[in-house]
Structure 1
Amino acid sequence: MTNNKIAEHNAALQNKPALDIVRWGIERANGHAIVSTNFRPFEAVILHLCVQVQPDIPVLWVDHGYNRPATYRYAEKLCERLNLNLKTYLPKLTAAHRDAIYGPIPNVDDEAELKKFSEMMKLEPFQRGMKELAPVVWLTALRKVQNPGRAKLDILSKDEIYNTIKINPVFYWTDADMENYLKQHNLPNEWDYFDPAKADENRECGLHRN
């Protein structure tokens, strides 16, 4: 897909309902669409949207082993509620094994060690998952308001790393929009989420580079 075509699609999709954007993407995937999740706050929105269009859509989750108990309970609740076709990918080392060899989670100021942590515990299993699932279309919950880096993105982009079309159906949604969707569909949320590979919301872990 050329850059001009992507720009045309983004202009056409900007004012479409998120469910229509999901449907548009899945229809073009020829059975090879996935949605990724980390079960952070508001993830029920993108998952609920996707399963309405394709109930058995593969849901790629990297469980790095450092999630808080509330996040694991949230994941279980959503899996049961939405009957998710969850595809869980684990690092080659357990969290306990990594900590024993390399020490605790790196400090937010230690960029080099955070990068190593991310590559080992998140990127490697994610790359493995993307290779095995080989999606034509990759649906995500990225939103413009999340951090300055993501504000430069759009609904649709070509991901050269994974050779897939990335679609962010709720890209222009505010937190209030997300809250309203959860209330409308009686979906749970979870606020105790923490990503040890990012340490703060303005830092990217490396999964979303464009």
Structure 2
Amino acid sequence: MAFDQLDRPDLALRLDAELRHAHPVTVLESAIETFGDRLALVSSFGAESAVLLHLAAQLKPDIPVLFLDTGMLFGQTLDYRRNLAAKLGLTDVRDLRPAFQDLATADPEAKLWKTDTDACCHVRKVLPLDRAIEGFDAWLTGRKRFHGGDRMSLPVVEQAEGKVKFNPLANWGKEELDAYMAAHDLPAHPLVAQGFPSIGCWPCTKPVEEGQDVRAGRWAGSEKTECGIHTARAPGAVSNVGGDI
């Protein structure tokens, strides 16, 4: 069924009510059945990404996987993205990079992260994803409630920016993730063993101490907890450099 044939205001609420306690596979099956080729998976190929990528690869190996290559990722992440995609048989991984003109305007010296992390994330993550996601009606994310912060109240299905977002792993904790990784012999991101339970760009990601929150190493020392791609924006809008962030 095409998305424009569905009742947009009620669709996410109805699906969330149906799937809020469902196994991730059931959530994925529902997303694929409802949206088909109008569904994308957004992945950082980070510390826990292998689980959702593996689940999706079993059901739809040609699902478009959108990977934000910000130009400031760890080399280990780029290697992991290439090796994991090949191992899982994912055939449509798309590398989303910042537009040259956006960088020339907002971050010509690649030092914006030192003075304005929100603006840096905006030009390197938000803008490329907003442009790429325009071609889809729904997308999958790897967010989980146990990561804390605003994610503690994360629904399994939500509507944002005119799209339906599925969070198949919202209900899973670290034990379930670790068990799944072990059961399917999935390779860990190489930085996990070095104390990085959540991995983003190298300037803004640090290892964490034992007992700290999973995302404590992201933008450590600031109040920032999200990069902006999950922050509400006007439906269908593609933000402009220098606009509200």
**TM value normalised by structure 1:** 0.84
Name the CA shift for 1:62/1:98 in 2 (closer, same or farther; >3 Å). farther
What does the per-residue CA deviation read over 1:111-161, in whole Å, with 9 as the maximum and x for residues that have no partner?
xx1111111111111112112xx22221110111113111122000011x2
Q: Kindly tell me: are residues 180 and 92 of structure 1, through their superposed partners in 2, closer, same or farther at Cα, counting changes over 3 Å?
A: same
* Percent identity of paired positions between Structure 1 and Structure 2: 23
Consecutive unaligned residues of structure 2, counting only runs of 5 or more, are 1-6, 205-217, 233-245
Quote the residue 2:3 is aligned against.
Answer: none
The CA distance in 1 between the partners of 2:164 and 2:106, in whole Å, is 36
2:102 corresponds to 1:80: no
Q: Which residue of 1 aligns with 2:226?
A: 204
Q: Which amino acid aligns with 2:129?
A: F
Distance 1:27 1:167 in 2: 13
Structure 2 residue matching 1:30: 3-state secondary structure: helix
Offset of 1:14 from its aligned partner? 2.4
| Cross-structure match for 2:139 | 138
- The AA in structure 2 aligned to 1:170 is L
CA 147–102 in structure 1, closer or farther in 2 if over 3 Å, else same: farther
Task: Tell whether the 8 Å contact from 1:34 to 1:139 is kept in structure 2 after alignment.
Answer: yes
Residue pair 1:148, 1:202 contacting (<8 A) in 2 also? no
C-alpha separation between the residues in 1 aligned to 2:8 and 2:93?
32
CA distance in 1, matches of 2:111, 2:165: 33
Mapping 1:53-72, distance limit 5 Å? 53-72=59-78
Look up the SS of the partner of 1:138 in the other structure: strand
Q: Deviations over 1:39-86 (max 9, x none)?
A: 111101111111211110000111001111211111111111012210
Does the Cα contact within 8 Å between 2:106 and 2:123 map onto a contact in 1?
A: no
- How many correspondences in the alignment? 201
Do structure 1's residue 29 and structure 2's residue 45 form an aligned pair? no
SS at match of 1:11: helix
Q: What is the root-mean-square deviation in Å for CA atoms of aligned residues? A: 2.6
- Aligned equivalent of 2:58: 52
Find the aligned partners of 1:74 and 1:66 in 2 and give their Cα distance. Answer: 15
The two structures have a TM-score, normalised by structure 2, of 0.73
Inter-CA distance 120–4: structure 2 relative to 1 (3 Å threshold): closer
Secondary structure of the corresponding residue to residue 34 of structure 1: strand
Secondary structure in structure 2 of the residue aligned to 1:28: helix
Residues 24 and 169, structure 2, Cα contact 8 Å, conserved in 1: yes
1:127 matched to 2:126? The reply is no
For structure 1, the 5+ residue unaligned runs are none
Equivalents in 1 of 2:179, 2:46: separation in Å?
A: 17
CA change 1:177–1:124 in 2 (3 A) is same
